[in-house]
Structures are given as C-alpha cells and as structure tokens.
Structure 1
Amino acid sequence: MPEPVIITCAPTGGIHTPTMSPHLPVTPDEIADASVEAARAGAAVIHLHARDPRTGKPDPRPEVFRQFLPRIAAETDAVVNISTGGGLGMTREDRLRAAEAASPEMASLNVGSMNFGIFPMREKYGQWKHDWEPEFLESTRDLVFKNTFADLEHLVKELGGTHGTRFEFECYDLGHLYNLAWLIDQGWLEPPYFVQMVFGVLGGVGADLDNLAHMHTVADKLFGDDYEWSVLAAGRHQMSFATQAAMLGGNLRVGLEDSLYLGPGELAPSNASQVTKIRSIIESLGHTVATPDEARRRLGLKGADRVAF
C-alpha cells in the first residue's frame, strides 16, 4: 500500500502581490490564521514566508516571523518549514535570517540559480494597491535568482549542520536534481531527502506531465530509496499536477504562494479551501493523508521541541 500523502501548504509566498487577490495573507495574524486553518484541513507541513504588514512586500525580518510562528506552534502540530528563498532580489544573508533565528524543523532550499520571470503578471492588472508591486514584477525581466554552489554549501552547513534543520529541496529543473546529488556526494547531507519538484515557473521546467515523469525517473536513479518526493505546479496547473503526484505515490504542495485559484476563474477564498479540495481528491483515489507526526518520521525531522519559537 502507498504511504499516506504528505500535504504541504504554502500560505503566502513572495511572488503574488496584494492586488492579485484579497485573500492573500499579508499581516502576521492573517498568516497565522491561514496556517492554522490549512493544518486543520489536513496540511502536515506549512511552508512560510513573511510580508511587511503595511505594504504586503516580502519581508525577511525575524521579528515579523516571530509574530506568527509561536501561534502556529501553539495551535497546531504541523511541521513548520521556513523559506530561505525569501523574496526575489533579497541577499543570501537576508534570506537566511528568519531560519537562523527560528531554528525550524525544516527550511526550503532552492537548488540552483535560474531566471525567475514573474513579469508577465504585470500585464494582467491596471490598478495597484501599492506602488512597489508593478516595479517588483517588472524587475524580474532582468533578474537571476542566485543559488550558486557556494550558496548551497553555506546553507546546508549552517542550517543543517548547526541547527539540525532538514530541507525541502526545491528543484525547478532537471539540473537541480544533479546539484542536489552533488551536495549529497560531498557528505554534507544525510537521508531521507525531501525533493520538491517545481513546474510552471518561467525560467524553470514547464508544466508538462512528461516533464514530471522524467524528473521522477531521474530522481529515482539518483536517490533510490533515500528520498521522499513532492510536486508543486504554478497557477492553473496546481491541482492537476498535485493529483498526478498522488496517483504516482508521491506527495504534493498547494497554497496561495503557488496559485491564487481554486478552479478556473475562481479565486481561492483561503489556503484551507485548496487543502480541502486536494484532500478530497486524494481520498477519492483511495489514498490517505499523512499526519504531521507521520511526516516527521518519514522526513527524519528533529521534532517540534527543538525549535527556537
């Protein structure tokens, strides 16, 4: 029988902007509410970014994270996963600040540099809530999301070695799987590895099911029985790719970071609504949903009692 499906929910991210949806969590209270609701709906892992509560701009400050992390920990038993992707254009140091301060069970790690183009979204909106939004989107026309081998080494040694944090390895292209294999070959990581395959971001691998099948095949060759795999897809591909991952025996990620919609033309009213929808699909396929403790066991996490929040 297949293992229960680990659902990750990413409530806010650092890509979508407040103009795009009135349901995008921005303030610490909104992020906490969204996380708690998603966990109660069935998400075992919560992948977290922070935003400036006044403007909604991606914010790396640990003091903002501290306004919602303790509440999530108090009201759920979900695994807290803090992004080291931060916001596009942040320095490596800024992207690490929150995770270093919080010492979480998990942190995301983007496993390669890439073009990360979200500038086409600018054309969809005529009026903006904040001046920074169109400028932020347009800046990605000439931006490389930097994750060099030196960056990767620093992150795995600092968070993994010093804090005992494990990683959601975000792989946006085939080469990123080989970058992860190189990190493993250096002896800096121990299994199990949690590989998050990302589809549909301009600059990364396209949202084509043939690409999913190929990346899964290559990951099996590289990591064998030493890894858990998960899938997320941007925008309209979110639910179809999540469903395909579950059918293939993998795990999946949903949340307003990755898609603002619940169905065609229908804005998701909450993160929990996306979790509830994919959970219903999973269970209709005859699968079960993993609890946070099952996720901890399978991902080899240090436990919620060893974090700094």
Structure 2
Amino acid sequence: MSKILITCAVTGSIHTPSMSPHLPWRPEDIVAQSIGAAEAGAAILHLHARDPEDGRPSADPAHFMGVLPDIAAGTDAVLNLSTGGSAVMGLDQRLAGPMRAEPEMCSLNMGTMNFALYPMAARHADWRFDWEEPFLTGSDDLVFKNTPRDIAHVLTEMGEKRGARFEFECYDSGHLTMLCHFVDRGLVKPPIFIQFVFGVLGGMAPLPENLTHMKRLADTYFDEDYLFSVLAAGRAQMPMATMAAGMGGHVRVGLEDNLYIARGELARSNAEQVAHVREIVERLGRTVATPDEAREMLGLKGRDKVAS
C-alpha cells in the first residue's frame, strides 16, 4: 500500500470554547497546536479561522493571516484552508480568507445538506460566551448551502485562478455523483483527493458498510484517478480511521472532528490524536507521508506559490 497521508483538522467551526479547555481558538494556540500536530506526523493541516476575542468561527482574512505566517514559519506541512467556513456563513464570506491566502490546498463541500449540531447543546450547561448556545441550538433549522453554482465558483476562484488543489468533502453518496459531474465538465482533474465524512447529523452515519459502499462507488466513478481519506466525528474517529488505513486509504483526525482521545477523556492537544493514529497506521504496516511526499501525491503547486 502507498504511503499514508495524515490530515489534522486543528480547530474547525463546530466545537465551541466551552466544550474543551484544549480546543485552540486564540491565535497563539492555533499556531502552537498546528505546529505540534505536524511534528507528530500530520502532513496536512486543515485550518479554519476563529475570532480571537471570543472563539467564534470566522473567515475574516485578518484572522486567517493572523495565524498562517506563523504556522508556515514553524512547519513545512501543507496548509489546507476551509472554504466551508461555517454553515451559517454565505459563500462570499466563506471564501474571503482563502482568496486572500491563496493556499496550496482547500476543502470543498460537494453538496447542500442539513448540518445539525443542536444535540451537542444538551451536553453543556455553562457557556463561556453568549454566542455558543444559540449557534448550536439554531442549527435545527440550518441548511448548509453548496449548490452546483457555488461549487463551480469555488473551483474557478480557488482552483483555476489561484492554483489550489482540493480536498473534496463528501458527506453522502450523492456528493460523489456531483464530483463525477464536475470531472465530466472538466473542472476537476486527477489526482482527486476525496474526504469521506461520517457522523455529522445530516450526512452518513459512521458505519463500516457506509465506508465500503462509498469506496465501491468511488472506484466505479474515478477508477485509479483518486485517493480517499476518512474522517469520522466523535467516538467513531479512531475506529473509522483504522478501517480506512487497512483499506489503503488515508486518515484525518483533530479537535475539529472529535474532542476526545478515549472514552470520557478529553484530548489535550491535536498532536495527541495525531500521535495516536500514527501508531495505529504504522502497526498496520503503513508508512506516514512527509509534507513533500503529500505535495507530490496530490500535485500541489508548492508552498513558494502561496500569498504572503
């Protein structure tokens, strides 16, 4: 099996500061945990921005550029910026930071969906900031909009104009169909890097049969022109990562997806999760890819071609 890519999703836009004291949302913590995750073995860092005043999800270019130069100075890991931002943001808002940064790589959500976080609110009683609880509870009426027009816009602005390659986030089988559509249109070219996403309420459940089904479909649609990675939210994170590694795929961990390292035990850092999954995949006989090997595998433009 080929070398394995470990992605670390450092902070995200789902978990809020009250959920864990270890969730990085201050700029200095995002920087430190990103570098720590890379040192532990993550070749790719999937990054969102946060408002440094209260940890609110942000795509403000100033908030992105408040962390990206320092991360790049501390590690040669591939910086993969979210174009999803937060489901409550409009597309122009979500793209503002990535368009300013012109990264090597971006994520791209491949379909409109429900993105329900509200059950998480019931697990907490004390909130540090007044935005947190309404942000979660309001998601019972939230549609995460990613239409074909939106997807084409991101592919054009970030891909054709700025040279980024994509992590295509697929939360359901129809998202693979949409990705195939854009391959047919000539807007997506191999190597195609697909992230199968499990465990978000509105997408696929983290079940082994769902992963094998998605793999079969991707084989049919893309033959040998793609690589796949797996992320699973919450307690399914490590079991699904283990299955993906055993199937020849790649893995994603990080505090964006799961705040815990074991049942009832909060992860103290992103690096702790990366080190744990690295041990798992190496015991399966996989060799962890370096950042430069990741660049070669994914056909990236190189860190010298990003905006400063």
Q: How does 1:20-59 map to 2 (within 5 A)?
A: 20-59=19-58
Amino acid at match of 2:169: E
Corresponding residue SS for 1:88: coil
TM-score, normalised on structure 2?
A: 0.99
Q: How does 1:24-173 map to 2 (within 5 A)?
A: 24-173=23-172
The yes-or-no answer on 1:183 pairing with 2:182 is: yes
Amino acid at match of 1:162: K
Amino acid at match of 1:123: A
Amino acid at match of 2:199: G
Distance 1:281 1:190 in 2: 32
How many residue pairs match? The answer is 308
> Residue 246 of structure 2 corresponds to which residue in structure 1?
247
What CA deviation, in whole Å up to 9, does each residue of 1:108-155 have, x standing for no partner?
Answer: 000000000000001001110011111000111001000000000100
Corresponding residue SS for 1:24: coil
Amino acid at match of 1:152: I
> Residue 202 of structure 1 corresponds to which residue in structure 2?
201
Distance 1:37 1:173 in 2: 32
Contact 2:87 2:145 in 1 (8 A): no
Contact 1:115 1:145 in 2 (8 A): yes
Distance 1:263 1:4 in 2: 26
Contact 2:199 2:232 in 1 (8 A): yes
Contact 1:39 1:46 in 2 (8 A): yes
Corresponding residue SS for 1:164: coil
TM-score, normalised on structure 1?
A: 0.99
Q: CA RMSD in A?
A: 0.6
> Residue 229 of structure 2 corresponds to which residue in structure 1?
230
Contact 1:11 1:255 in 2 (8 A): yes
> Residue 269 of structure 2 corresponds to which residue in structure 1?
270
> Residue 282 of structure 2 corresponds to which residue in structure 1?
283
Distance 1:112 1:38 in 2: 29
Corresponding residue SS for 2:54: coil
The yes-or-no answer on 1:300 pairing with 2:299 is: yes
Contact 1:28 1:65 in 2 (8 A): no
Distance 2:118 2:133 in 1: 8
Amino acid at match of 2:298: L
Contact 1:156 1:188 in 2 (8 A): yes
Moved over 4 A (4+): none
> Residue 213 of structure 2 corresponds to which residue in structure 1?
214
What CA deviation, in whole Å up to 9, does each residue of 1:140-195 have, x standing for no partner?
Answer: 10010000000001000111100010000000000000000001110112110100
- Structure 2 unpaired stretches of 5+: none
Distance 1:139 1:54 in 2: 22
Contact 1:92 1:151 in 2 (8 A): yes
Distance 1:275 1:35 in 2: 11
Distance 2:300 2:290 in 1: 14
Identity of aligned residues (%): 56
Corresponding residue SS for 1:258: coil
Amino acid at match of 1:63: A
The structural deviation recorded for 1:88 is 2.0
Distance 2:130 2:87 in 1: 17
Contact 1:196 1:230 in 2 (8 A): yes
